[in-house]
């Protein structure tokens, strides 16, 4: 794999993230090759080391996970892998780390946010990773700049669905890349630093390439903002005139815990946190991170945790926030006077059944899309980013290749300068001013992880379509994507004509 690195230059390789049909297993390599007196010298950084979700579909018996394959990168001293930069704490960006450690690999120092470190420490505990095996962790924040070898990396806050989400501006002599990480433009926020547009505007002339999170590119307009989710929740609850409100939320999305809590507070309803062990462990992390629900409440509402209390304690009017699919006895004697707000697409299907059987009305994200928190920019977010920066080369990632192929015409119409080759995992691109060229390619693989006696071992498998068992088949099929993009293009073309005729 070092062949293409025989020449000076700055290189980018998606190891996972430009997948066939899944959004999962993110991991990217940046390698800078410079000439020194002694010959060529390399500096490599890795951005994220996630897990691939649909490992069962890869056909290895007793598999526990699958991870991107960075083994040769770690084993090639010439490449000089100096650091792993972590954009945020979600499993598809972070959870590969523990499996590599459990398989006996040494990893370079990790750079990430405080919350990311908290989640990682939780993973170390649950996988029994002893302290001596844990790589150094350096906490970073918005505005920090880290120099390593011939690269400089600047940290830029990103609006996403968890604390401490970052993008990185990676500076080399040949090119300056803005690696967005998972992000949207939304600067309404209840709990985090929003995407640092001020800094991006300032540094815009230097940015030559954007490695962009195209996860939400199948939707028009701007990504739904946190404030819109909050307002919609308040509006639905108010209009319902019900006293008992059920708001199930995804455990890994702290922003929804908070938005639901703030909606309850606004309407002066007591809050009952109620869910699985996973839910409570994230609730603890949110509190450990420094967020105090009691402080926010200032005695205006009462807050309960778990099922220790009886419905009578909760008072007349309350909101249940949790990841439950079983609402237990939270109704009191009667299910009347209750409403459910379902904030995720399919996760809470069993709960819908419970609501139905008890004649409780509920609103879903199909009725009110704002109810689902969004972490990824839509088309409008990237149009905005493109105009904020100076039309850099856009390198899409964090989506299947067919989405990139499908949106090309539309993006061209919108003036986005997309890389001409659709990047696939394990292709290496050479980045220089106004250029992004394919320099090398190799078959892409996942490493399937199996555990025996507490240790992990890897089996290498070719990457293949796995959507038969994944969620993408239902939500983002290639055909549906193509149709959506042609419809958007038609609407935009019509809009332009109208404007011209005015």
Quote the least distance from Cβ 90 to Zn ion, whole Å. 4
Quote the least distance from Cβ 88 to Zn ion, whole Å. 6
Q: Do strands 176-179 and 209-213 pair parallel, antiparallel, or not at all (unpaired)?
A: parallel
Alpha-carbon gap, residue 220 to 380, rounded angstroms: 6
Of 183 and 320, nearer to Zn ion (C-beta) is 183
Quote the least distance from Cβ 338 to Zn ion, whole Å. 32
Alpha-carbon gap, residue 478 to 344, rounded angstroms: 22
Of 182 and 255, nearer to Zn ion (C-beta) is 182
376 binds Zn ion (CB under 5 A): no
Of 90 and 179, nearer to Zn ion (C-beta) is 90
Quote the least distance from Cβ 432 to Zn ion, whole Å. 30
Q: Do strands 151-157 and 145-148 pair parallel, antiparallel, or not at all (unpaired)?
A: antiparallel
Binding region for Zn ion (CB under 5 A) out of 76-84, 90-98, 449-457, 465-473: 90-98
Of 55 and 160, nearer to Zn ion (C-beta) is 160
Alpha-carbon gap, residue 112 to 102, rounded angstroms: 20
Report DSSP state, residue 73: H
Of 32 and 142, nearer to Zn ion (C-beta) is 142
Alpha-carbon gap, residue 69 to 51, rounded angstroms: 11
Of 115 and 458, nearer to Zn ion (C-beta) is 115
H/E/C letters for each residue in 151-185? EEEEEEECECCCCCCEEEEEECCCCEEEECCCCEC
The helix or strand, by DSSP H or E, that contains position 294, with its residue range, turns out to be helix 293-297
Per-residue DSSP letters for 233-276?
HHHHHHHHT-SEEEEE--TT-HHHHHHHHHHHHHTT-EEEE---
Quote the least distance from Cβ 11 to Zn ion, whole Å. 25
Of 90 and 484, nearer to Zn ion (C-beta) is 90
Of 5 and 52, nearer to Zn ion (C-beta) is 52
Q: Do strands 145-148 and 209-213 pair parallel, antiparallel, or not at all (unpaired)?
A: unpaired
Quote the least distance from Cβ 51 to Zn ion, whole Å. 13
Binding region for Zn ion (CB under 5 A) out of 87-95, 192-200, 221-229, 353-361: 87-95
Residues 230-289 that bind Zn ion (CB under 5 A): none
Residues 164-183 that bind Zn ion (CB under 5 A): 182
Residues 36-75 that bind Zn ion (CB under 5 A): none
Alpha-carbon gap, residue 414 to 386, rounded angstroms: 9
Residues 173-232 that bind Zn ion (CB under 5 A): 182
Q: Do strands 110-112 and 137-139 pair parallel, antiparallel, or not at all (unpaired)?
A: parallel
Sheet containing strand 110-112, edge to edge, reads 137-139, 110-112, 81-85, 39-47, 27-36, 9-16, 427-432, 435-441
Of 90 and 232, nearer to Zn ion (C-beta) is 90
Which of 13, 26, 55, 90 forms a contact with Zn ion (CB under 5 A)? 90
| Residues in binding contact with Zn ion, number by CB under 5 A | 2
H/E/C letters for each residue in 404-430? HHHHHHHHHHCCCEECCCCCCCCEEEE
Quote the least distance from Cβ 174 to Zn ion, whole Å. 29
Alpha-carbon gap, residue 27 to 446, rounded angstroms: 11
Of 21 and 182, nearer to Zn ion (C-beta) is 182
Quote the least distance from Cβ 430 to Zn ion, whole Å. 28
Binding region for Zn ion (CB under 5 A) out of 73-81, 83-91, 312-320, 406-414: 83-91
Quote the least distance from Cβ 103 to Zn ion, whole Å. 24
Of 9 and 14, nearer to Zn ion (C-beta) is 14
Apex CA 390: angle with CA 496 and CA 186, to 5°?
A: 75
Buried b (16+ CB within 10 A) or exposed e, 137-167: beebebeeebebbbbebbbbbbbbbbbbbbb
In sequence order, what are the residues at sequence separation of 6 or more whose Cβ sits closer than 8 angstroms to the Cβ of residue 46?
27, 28, 29, 30, 70, 73, 81, 83, 84, 85, 108
Binding region for Zn ion (CB under 5 A) out of 31-39, 85-93, 125-133, 389-397: 85-93
Residues 394-453 that bind Zn ion (CB under 5 A): none
Quote the least distance from Cβ 499 to Zn ion, whole Å. 36
Quote the least distance from Cβ 314 to Zn ion, whole Å. 33
Of 182 and 381, nearer to Zn ion (C-beta) is 182
Quote the least distance from Cβ 164 to Zn ion, whole Å. 12
Quick one: tokens of 205? 């002339």
In the complex, the residues that contact Zn ion under the rule CB under 5 A are: 90, 182
């Amino acid at each position: 794999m070092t062949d293409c690195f025989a020449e000076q230059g700055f290189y980018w390789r998606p190891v996972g993230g430009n997948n066939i049909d899944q959004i999962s297993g993110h991991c990217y390599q940046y390698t800078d090759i410079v000439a020194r007196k002694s010959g060529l010298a390399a500096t490599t950084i890795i951005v994220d080391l996630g897990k691939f979700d649909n490992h069962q579909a890869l056909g290895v018996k007793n598999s526990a996970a699958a991870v991107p394959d960075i083994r040769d990168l770690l084993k090639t001293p010439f490449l000089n892998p100096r650091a792993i930069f972590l954009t945020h704490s979600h499993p598809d960006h972070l959870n590969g780390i523990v499996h590599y450690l459990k398989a006996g690999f040494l990893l370079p120092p990790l750079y990430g946010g405080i919350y990311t470190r908290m989640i990682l420490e939780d993973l170390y505990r649950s996988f029994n990773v002893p302290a001596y095996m844990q790589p150094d962790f350096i906490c970073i924040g918005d505005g920090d700049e880290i120099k390593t070898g011939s690269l400089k990396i600047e940290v830029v806050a990103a609006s996403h669905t968890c604390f401490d989400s970052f993008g990185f501006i990676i500076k080399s002599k040949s090119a300056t890349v803005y690696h967005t990480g998972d992000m949207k433009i939304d600067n309404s926020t209840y709990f985090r630093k929003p995407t640092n547009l001020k800094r991006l505007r300032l540094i815009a002339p230097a940015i030559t390439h954007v490695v962009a999170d195209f996860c939400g590119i199948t939707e028009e307009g701007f990504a739904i903002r946190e404030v819109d989710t909050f307002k919609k929740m308040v509006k639905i609850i108010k209009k319902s005139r019900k006293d008992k409100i059920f708001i199930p939320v995804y455990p890994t999305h702290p922003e929804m815990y908070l938005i639901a809590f703030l909606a309850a507070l606004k309407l002066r309803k007591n809050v009952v946190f109620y869910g699985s062990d996973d839910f409570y462990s994230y609730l603890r992390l949110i509190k450990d991170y420094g967020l105090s629900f009691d402080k926010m409440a200032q005695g205006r509402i009462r807050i309960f945790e778990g099922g220790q209390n009886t419905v009578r304690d909760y008072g007349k009017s309350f909101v249940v926030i949790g990841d439950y699919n079983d609402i237990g006895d939270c109704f009191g004697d009667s299910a009347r006077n209750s409403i459910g707000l379902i904030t995720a697409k399919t996760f809470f299907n069993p709960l819908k059944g419970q609501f139905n059987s008890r004649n409780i009305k509920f609103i879903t994200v199909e009725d009110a899309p704002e109810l689902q928190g969004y972490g990824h920019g839509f088309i409008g977010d990237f149009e905005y980013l493109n105009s904020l920066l100076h039309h850099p080369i856009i390198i899409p990632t964090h989506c299947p290749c067919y989405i990139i192929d499908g949106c090309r015409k539309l993006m061209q119409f919108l003036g986005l300068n997309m890389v001409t080759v659709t990047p696939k995992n394990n292709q290496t691109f050479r980045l220089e001013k106004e250029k992004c060229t394919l320099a090398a390619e190799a078959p892409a693989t996942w490493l399937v992880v199996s555990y025996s006696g507490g240790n992990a071992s890897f089996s290498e498998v070719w990457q293949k379509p796995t959507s038969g068992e994944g969620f993408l088949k239902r939500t983002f099929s290639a055909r549906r994507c193509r149709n959506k993009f042609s419809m958007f293009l038609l609407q935009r073309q019509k809009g332009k004509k109208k404007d011209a005729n005015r």
